[in-house]
Amino acid sequence: MSVATTTHLNFRGRAREALEFYRSATGGELTVATYGDLGSDAAPAEQVVWGQVSAPSGFRVMAYDVPPARPLERGTDPFFVSLRGDDPAEVQRLWEALGEGAVVVVPLAPSAWAPLYGMLTDRFGVTWVLDVAAG
């Protein structure tokens, strides 16, 4: 069983630009899925619903373009902490533990890109994205 923590940055239409910058700075590999790729109309089709730069050095960062319906103020909610695991039971356990006193933003459930995905803001104001890595 394995769980990794990754900083997940939030942008409004600039996620691809930021990810490309981090890729060039770190020599990492860029992976991007757009709202259009998933058939979602929550944001413009070319915007990033999920992106990641992963470098051989161990550098890893995720980013996405916050949909227009979700508020975003620079400095208020500039990042999420992503917990990605390979064991659904462990991710469920972490969800329940972190969820004590939390506000659920997206319930933990299967999604188009992961066997389980959910988002909550804990009682300290930290927003966590939990998912099971697609196999």
Averaged pLDDT of the chain: 89
Query: What is the per-residue DSSP string for 90-126?
Result: HHHHHHHHHTTT-EEEEEEE--SS-SSEEEEE-TTS-
Which pLDDT band holds residue 131 (cuts at 50, 70, 90)?
Answer: very high
Opening angle at CA 101, ends 4 and 91, nearest 5: 25
Alpha-carbon distance of 82 to 118, in angstroms, equals 10
120 close to 99: Cβ distance less than 8 angstroms: yes
CATH number, span 3-132: 3.10.180.10
Which pLDDT band holds residue 39 (cuts at 50, 70, 90)?
Answer: very high
Alpha-carbon distance of 35 to 69, in angstroms, equals 14
Q: pTM for the whole thing?
A: 0.70
Q: Using one digit for the tens of pLDDT, what is the confidence trace for 75-107?
A: 666 778 888 888 899 899 889 988 989 999 999
Give the residue extent of every domain in the chain. 3-132
Alpha-carbon distance of 113 to 122, in angstroms, equals 23
